[in-house]
Amino acid sequence: MKKTSTRLADGRELIYYDLHDDTVRDAVDRRPLERTVTTSGIRRDPLLGDCVAVASHRQGRTYLPPADECPLCPSRGDRLSEIPDSSYDVVVFENRFPSLAGDSGRCEVVCFTSDHDASFADLTEEQARLVLDAWTDRTAELSHLPAVEQVFCFENRGQEIGVTLGHPHGQIYAYPFTTPRTALMLRSLAAHKEATGGENLFDAVLERELADERVVLRGEHWAAFVPYAAHWPYEVHLYPRRRVPDLLALDEAARTEFPQVYLELLRRFDRIFGDREAPTPYIAAWHQAPFGARQGEEGTAVNRGDFALHLELFTIRRTSGKLKFLAGSESGMNVFINDVPPEAAAQRLREVASS
C-alpha cells in the first residue's frame, strides 16, 4: 500500500491509498473553494447522560446529485470533484459537511472505488484488503488527535438508510467521547468480569454463538453469526476468532482472510430478497475499543484488551418491498421488536450461498 497525503483547495486533508508503490499523486484541486466554516458542537443530555452533535451547517450538503455530478467520482476534464485526480484506488478526505469538527472531533469520507456504479460487494479481495488497510491507518492517525476518544468506521448503503450520495463510500467518525452503545458494552463487560471472577463476556458470547444454529460463515480467523437477541430483521455480527481491541491489533492472517469472508457476507445480503433491481440497504459498523482507560460500574476496571473488535451488519428491510421502521417502542423506549426470528434469518443467509 502506498499512502499520499495532500490538501484540497479549502484546506481539507485528502489521502490516496494505492495498490501500487509507483503511483504518483500530484493532481491539484482546481476548484475555487473558500475555507470550510462549520458550526458543529456537542451538547450533553443531563437526563440520559449521552451526547448530541448539533451541526446546522449540514443543511446545505449535497443531496442525491445525478451520476454525472457526483462529488465522489474522479475529476476529469472540466468536471471537478472532491478527488482532484482522474482515477484512484481508495481515497479518504475530510468531510466538507462534518457532523463533528475541531474540538468536537472529526469526520472523514472513505471512497472504496472510483467506479460509481459498483458496491463494496463488487470489489476484488485485493481492493477490499486495501479498504481494510485504510480503515486501520485512519484509526491509528485519528486516535492521536487530542479531542478523539473513539474511532468509528462505517458504511451506509441505500437511500432507505438515508444515503445522499450513490457512489460506493463509507465514513469515519472520530468522537470526543465514548459512544452510548460502547458504554453499554463496557458496562456489561465489567459486570460479567466481576460476577465470574475474570471471565471475558465477549469470549463467552462468541463461544456460545459458534456452538449454535445461527452461524452463517465460519473461517479459520473470522466467524459471522446472527446474534441470539438480534435487533434487526437481518443482522450479522462478524468477529475475529482471536480477540483484539481494534483494527490495529489484527494479525496478518486475519487481515488476509477478512476480504474473503466479508465479501461473501455482503453478497449474501444482496441475495436475501432475490431482487437484483433493488440491492439490500444496509449499515456496516465497526466496533472498536475507545482509546484511554475506561471504568465499568462500581469502579470495576475494564482494560482496552478486554474489548472485542467486531463488525455489525444489518438491514432495515424486513421482507421484499417492506422496511422495518423504528416506531414507538424502538424510538420512544429503545425496545426493539424483531419480526424475523434470528434462527430463521441465519438459515436464510446460509441458503442464499448457492443461489
Q: Answer whether 346's CB lies under 8 Å from 226's CB.
A: yes
Choice among 169, 192, 287, 310 that is catalytic: 169
Q: Which residues, other chains included, contact 159 with Cβ-Cβ below 8 Å and sequence gap of 6+? A: 64, 281
Which three cell numbers mark 28? 491539484
What is the distance between the alpha carbons of residues 143 and 113, in angstroms, rounded to a whole number? 25
What is the distance between the alpha carbons of residues 104 and 171, in angstroms, rounded to a whole number? 16
Identity of residue 153: C
- In whole angstroms, how far apart are CA 315 and each of 120, 158, 236, 334? 15, 10, 9, 17
Burial class of residue 248 (count of CB atoms within 10 Å of its CB; 0-12, 13-18, 19+): middle
Q: Answer whether 57's CB lies under 8 Å from 38's CB.
A: yes
Which three cell numbers mark 140? 491509528
N-term to C-term CA, the chain: 35
CA 280-281-285 angle, to 5 degrees, is 120
Phi-psi region of 271 (alpha: psi -120 to 50; beta: other; left: phi over 0): alpha
Q: Answer whether 70's CB lies under 8 Å from 76's CB.
A: no
Is 116 one of the annotated active-site residues of the chain?
A: no
Q: Answer whether 287's CB lies under 8 Å from 182's CB.
A: yes
Residues labelled as active-site residues: 169
